[in-house]
């Protein structure tokens, strides 16, 4: 696994929590989340699911603090995750890939996931800045993202949410105009 892509673990886990539907509600859903990460697979139990949901809340809290401008709180939260879930780096060269670094080889699935996610996020923030952490501004969305635009102008998690927000703003403007016209 590419070291930079460990930060994707954060996004993938936190964004299972849609306001309309929590897609991490049972063990099948957790298997589904881990499927694309063979290194993070293993036997999982109900307790692991609970641990993953707790981790999800902790990771989201980092984004909430960061986007509210409380960088110290965000970093404090991240530091406690790094302490709770230390990495166990190992060089690996499986499946014909070149030698590369794995951050987490031992421990329970949630522990390994947490160690990888926390380190990935730490690397991301160190490289690109904490102001790159974002939460979607669309009304019905809480997805998180890393802003990779040159000027740090990203507001939405996806084109879909950006499109919906534009439509909503347009509808609001129309309603406003109607009201004004009606009042005269
Ligand atoms: Zn969104």
Query: pLDDT tens digits for 142-181?
Result: 999 999 999 999 999 999 999 988 888 888 888 888 776 6
pTM of the model: 0.88
- What CATH number should be reported for the domain holding residue 59? 1.10.3300.10
CB atoms under 10 Å from CB of 26, counted, come to 12
- Per the model's pLDDT, the better-predicted residue between 2 and 82 turns out to be 82
- Residue 173 resides in a domain: no
Please tell me the predicted confidence (pLDDT) of residue 1.
56
Stretch (H or E) spanning 171: helix 159-183
- Residue 179 resides in a domain: no
Please tell me the predicted confidence (pLDDT) of residue 181.
67
Sorted by sequence, the CB contacts under 8 Å of residue 71 that are 6+ apart come out as 65, 130
- Residue 176 resides in a domain: no
Report CA(66)–ligand 1 centroid distance (Å).
Answer: 17
- Residue 181 resides in a domain: no
Split at pLDDT 50, 70, 90, the class of 93 is confident
Report CA(165)–ligand 1 centroid distance (Å).
Answer: 9
Report CA(65)–ligand 1 centroid distance (Å).
Answer: 18
With 60 as the cut, is the pLDDT of residue 183 above it?
no
Taking CA atoms, 63 is separated from 48, 58, 73, 76, 119, in Å, by 23, 9, 10, 12, 15
Report CA(96)–ligand 1 centroid distance (Å).
Answer: 37
- Residue 99 resides in a domain: yes
Q: What is the pLDDT of residues 49-90, one digit of tens each?
A: 999 999 999 999 999 999 999 999 999 999 999 999 998 888
- Residue 108 resides in a domain: yes
- Per the model's pLDDT, the better-predicted residue between 55 and 105 turns out to be 55
* Tokens representing residue 105 in the block: 């080889």
- Residue 46 resides in a domain: yes
- Which residue range is the domain that position 139 belongs to? 3-154
Report CA(132)–ligand 1 centroid distance (Å).
Answer: 16
- Residue 175 resides in a domain: no
Percent of the chain with pLDDT over 70: 96
Report CA(52)–ligand 1 centroid distance (Å).
Answer: 22
Number of domains forming the structure of the chain: 1
């Amino acid at each position: 696994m590419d070291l930079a892509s460990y930060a994707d673990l954060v996004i993938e886990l936190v964004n299972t929590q849609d306001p309309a539907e929590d897609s991490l509600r049972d063990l099948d859903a957790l298997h589904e989340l881990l499927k694309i990460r063979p290194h993070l697979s293993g036997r999982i139990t109900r307790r692991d699911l609970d641990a993953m949901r707790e981790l999800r809340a902790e990771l989201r809290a980092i984004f909430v603090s960061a986007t509210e401008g409380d960088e110290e709180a965000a970093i404090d939260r991240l530091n406690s995750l790094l302490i709770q879930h230390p990495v166990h780096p190992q060089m690996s060269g499986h499946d014909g890939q070149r030698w590369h670094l794995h951050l987490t080889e031992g421990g329970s699935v949630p522990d390994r996931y947490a160690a990888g996610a926390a380190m990935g996020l730490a690397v991301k923030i160190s490289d690109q800045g904490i102001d790159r952490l974002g939460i979607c501004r669309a009304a019905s969305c809480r997805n998180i993202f890393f802003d990779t635009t040159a000027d740090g102008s990203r507001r939405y998690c996806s084109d879909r949410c950006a499109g919906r927000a534009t439509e909503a703003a347009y509808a609001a403007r129309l309603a406003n105009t109607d009201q004004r016209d009606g009042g005269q």
